[in-house]
Structure 1
Amino acid sequence: MSSVSHQTRILVLRGGAIGDFIVTLPALQKLRACWPEAHIELVGYPYVAELAQAAGLVDRIESLDRAGIAKFFAARPLFTPEQCDYLRSFHFVVSYLHDPDEVVRQNLMAAGARQVLYGSPLITTGHAIEALLKPLETFALYAEGAEHPRLRLDDQRLGWGRDWLAARGLKAPVLAVHPGSGSPRKNWPVENFIALICQLPRGVTPLLILGEADDALAAPLARELPKVPVLTGCKLVEVAAVLAHCAAYLGNDSGITHLAAALGLPVVALFGPSNPAHWAPRGLRVRVIQAPDGKTAEISLAEVVAAVFQTLESRGVERVH
């Protein structure tokens, strides 16, 4: 265990999309557990990094786009005195930036960083969570079993989610469904999601979640499911606040699926071309259905319906139509 004092200042550099960030949460959890009084600063994308701040894992967020990080990828860059003072103020830096030639690491050290720990964001063996925990072994912080992200929101944010549902008359139990992802290849056919929602037991309230990448899905969903409420256009922390009140979740291999698992929801995750051994969401109650030959469209409707019904039954929902 490190002998660094409770006044430790730690800098974490992390880019990537929602899912990439959420599988990094166990590393942040380890840092916070080891140094509960430390100042932990995160340079990343604020829209997703806010999740870690909301959970008390980091104290300050700086945008990756505004932090001058691009300079660290250049050969022999010139650093301002302010940048050098900033880096020197941290006891160590944990970088998850893509850095195959160690240019970023060398530049961080040259600019004044005392110690730089590097974790590659490219996952080729094992689960992403264990790979991203690897740099912390320097401080004898090891993965303990199947580590998983844990997000806990404060009462104010939970209240916002409760009010959002109440304002739309949505009553428990709510099944959250995100039919999109960052790639059409990962998506189960939208008509299957529609068919599944139409088969839900009486009393279960479906809630669709749509993001910026899901525009192509909005029209068929609105046409076939005009009465099903849609959560869209919200901040990620607001999506989390609503999800926290849902009974269960169904989705593709996406960042929102990782988010639902991190919130502790029972999750049914549909995987196609991605390898779940590397990227499956981790949580207390996660069920992964993998497509034959990596083709998401080949996952049968009957298999997913059965999995969702079993998940709902585990939450006390009777199979009544």
Structure 2
Amino acid sequence: MKDETIAGNLRLSGIPNVIRRDPFPPHGHAADHLLRTLNLDRPPLPDLWAPDSDDVVIHPGSGSPKKNWPYFEELVDRLPNVVVFVPLPLGEAARSREARARKGEASKKDEGFRSSSNLWSSPGTSALRLPRRPMLQNLCLPEVFHHLRRCRAYIGNDSGITHLAAYLGCPTIALFGPTYPRVWGPIGRRARIIWKSKLEDITVDEVVQSLHATHT
């Protein structure tokens, strides 16, 4: 239904040819599925990584609490140079949830969401309390791009920021649980995926070891 509405709105906007296809690929990665729809080959992966610091950027959030690894607070305690990324809420629905959370009026539909001012303090993020570490907040996309290019490495859940970090060529550790990384995993020159069917089964030691392996 949403696809039909979007396609109709695009046609009303003067776009004569709207290509629609099931977003769930019958095989292979979702990106390759969409490229096949347009008869395009996968382009070479860019390498825009230009590190100039020892910072490890982490993003403990995602679009769903089910995708949030619960041990980021313990991970931060293990790493000396951590910068925590807290994105702005995007879209009307996200902004509405943000406003309700600030007023203490969160509904059942908002379960797992908390105001970014609480630093992702939610059931899905193990009540993170990270004020002792530098925070990247209220950044526009070019600023996010800048930090991801120049950090030593990035660690995050299945989220858009993780995909961006990997695609830029930044050493990326993506933590996957309920989603299938062969279909939805980040693509990049230095992307590593740790996947277990139960996200909480991924240990802090595994993540730290994977981080060290990115520099060997």
TM-score, structure 2 normalization: 0.71
TM superposition shift of 1:180? 1.0
Do the aligned partners of 1:188 and 1:252 also contact (CA within 8 Å) in 2? yes
Q: For 1:285 and 1:119, locate their aligned partners in 2 and report how far apart those are by CA, in whole Å.
A: 30
Q: Aligned partners of 2:209 and 2:148: how far apart in 1?
A: 22
Q: What code does the residue aligned with 1:195 have?
A: E
Contact 1:152–1:263 (CA<8 Å) still a contact in 2? yes
- Gapped runs of 5+ residues in structure 2? 90-112, 122-126
Equivalent residue number for residue 166 of structure 1: none
CA contact (8 A) 2:173 2:193 kept: yes
Secondary structure of residue in 2 paired with 1:237: helix
Q: Report the CA distance between 1:300 and its aligned residue.
A: 1.6
Q: List aligned pairs for 1:234-313, cutoff 5 A.
A: 234-291=139-196, 294-311=197-214, 313=215
Tell me the equivalent position of 1:230.
135
Contact residue 98 and residue 121 of structure 1 kept, 8 A: no
2:194 is aligned with 1:194: no
- Taking the aligned partners of 2:157 and 2:13, their CA distance within structure 1 comes to 42
Aligned residues: 185
TM-score between the two structures when normalised by the length of structure 1: 0.50
Q: If you compute each CA radius of gyration, which structure gives the higher value, 1 or 2?
A: 1
Spell out structure 1 runs of 4+ moving beyond 2 A.
102-105, 110-125, 141-144, 150-153, 211-222
Instruction: Give, in whole Å, the separation in 1 of the partners of 2:6 and 2:56.
Output: 46
Other-structure match for 2:34: 132
Read off the aligned partner of 1:193 and give its amino acid letter.
Answer: F
- Distance change >3 Å, CA 253–CA 113, structure 1 → 2: closer
* Offset, 1:117: 3.3
Structure 1 residue runs of 5 or longer lacking an equivalent are 1-72, 74-96, 163-170, 315-321
Partner of residue 117 from structure 1, selected from 19, 30, 42: 19
The one-letter code matched in structure 2 to 1:132 is L
Percent same amino acid at aligned positions?
Answer: 38
Select the structure with the greater relative contact order (CA < 8 A; seq sep ≥ 6): 2
**Which of the numbers 188, 206, 209 marks the counterpart of 2:85?**
209
Give distance in 2, aligned partners of 1:103 and 1:233: 29
Distance, in Å, in 2 between the alignment partners of 1:197 and 1:111 is 48
Distance 2:188 2:172 in 1: 8
Task: Give CA-to-partner distance per residue, 1:17-69, whole Å, 9 cap, x none.
Answer: xxxxxxxxxxxxxxxxxxxxxxxxxxxxxxxxxxxxxxxxxxxxxxxxxxxxx
Residues 207 and 228 in structure 1, CA contact (< 8 A), matched pair in contact too: yes
SS of equivalent to 1:117: coil
Q: Distance in 2 between matches of 1:302 and 1:103?
A: 45
Contact 1:280 1:288 in 2 (8 A): yes
Cα distance, 1:113–1:207 mapped onto 2, change above 3 Å? closer
Distance in structure 2 (CA, Å) of the matches to 1:208 and 1:103:
35
